Amino acid sequence: MMKVKNLIKVYNPETIPVHAVNGISFEIEKGDFVAIIGASGSGKSTLLHMLGLLDLPTKGEYTINNLNIVKLPEEEKTLYRLLQIGYVFQEYALVEEMTALGNVSIPLIMQGKSKKEAEKLAKEALDIVGLRGMYNRTEDQLSGGERQRVAIARAIVAKPKILFADEPCANLDSKTSEQVLEVFKKLNHELKLTIIMVTHEEWHIKYADRVIKLRDGVIEYDKRKNH
């Protein structure tokens, strides 16, 4: 379980302070699918980066299964990111000259797995996101939605516990966005993956179980949906 209490992020505290996140508290249970929404500048990415161990809070508490994330030494944090967390961003950030299979293998190669083992698991991940038969395509041979699904496969290949996504559909049309969101839903249902996704499209929230809306760095509302 993830738990944040009074989380605060102030950029440039010494010069012109920006209070990007201004005291946020919540708990997220394992297997939850949470959408974070709010206007541009409301603090969504800042919050997600702190939750994803990519940035430190200025103040506040953050624990995952009682592990104090704020106090975790840098090396352990790096290991934690590599083994427990997957990230999907707006830009797919694929390695251009590599195939889909090569791209998805990267996290496993970084973990020291053999090429053969890495490719076996990478194929499974590509199958899950619906890209069977596209293993050997390079980025220029894939559509935007397919590229994002390669990025999702890369994010889940090492079997993380939590998946963070920051506007994963920002560069996609609505039909392709739907396909990508269906993939998230499937990962949440079938693998019980905890998903925390930032979006600014109102219609995306129907894919999530819970919606947290930010305004000026604080929670405006936090609603669980009844299915």
Ligand X SMILES: Nc1ncnc2c1ncn2[C@@H]1O[C@H](COP(=O)(O)OP(=O)(O)OP(=O)(O)O)[C@@H](O)[C@H]1O
Q: Which residues bind Mg ion (CB under 5 A)?
A: 45
Residues 116-135 that bind ligand X (CB under 6 A): none
Residue 153 interacts with, from ligand X, Mg ion, none (CB under 5-8 Å by kind): none
Pick from 41, 83, 115, 189: which binds ligand X (CB under 6 A)? 41
| Whether the Cβ atoms of residue 24 and residue 188 lie closer than 8 Å to each other | no
167: alpha, beta or left? (left if phi > 0; alpha if psi -120 to 50): left
Quick one: which of 34, 42, 89, 148 contacts ligand X (CB under 6 A)? 42
Does position 57 interact with ligand X (CB under 6 A)? The reply is no
Q: Among 44-52, 76-84, 115-123, 134-142, which window interacts with ligand X (CB under 6 A)? A: 44-52
Range in contact with ligand X (rule: CB under 6 A) among 24-32, 36-44, 107-115, 176-184: 36-44
54 touches ligand X (CB under 6 A): no
Q: Does 44 bind ligand X (CB under 6 A)?
A: yes
Q: What φ, ψ does residue 208 adopt, rounded to 5°?
A: -95, 165
Q: 198-227: which residues touch ligand X (CB under 6 A)?
A: 200
The number of beta carbons lying within 10 Å of the beta carbon of residue 37 is 22
Per DSSP, the residues of 124-178 read HHHHHTT-TT-TT-BGGGS-HHHHHHHHHHHHHTT--SEEEEESTTTTS-HHHHH
3 state DSSP class of 1: coil
Q: In what order do the strands lie in the sheet with 18-28?
A: 18-28, 2-11, 59-64, 67-68
Residue 48 or 125 with smaller CB distance to ligand X:
48
Rounded to the nearest whole angstrom, what is the least distance from the CB of residue 55 to ligand X in the complex?
9
> Of 3, 8, 10, 11, which lies in the binding site for ligand X, with binding defined by CB under 6 A?
11
d(CA 84, CA 80): 5
Write out the residues near ligand X by the rule CB under 6 A: 11-12, 18, 20, 38, 40-46, 200
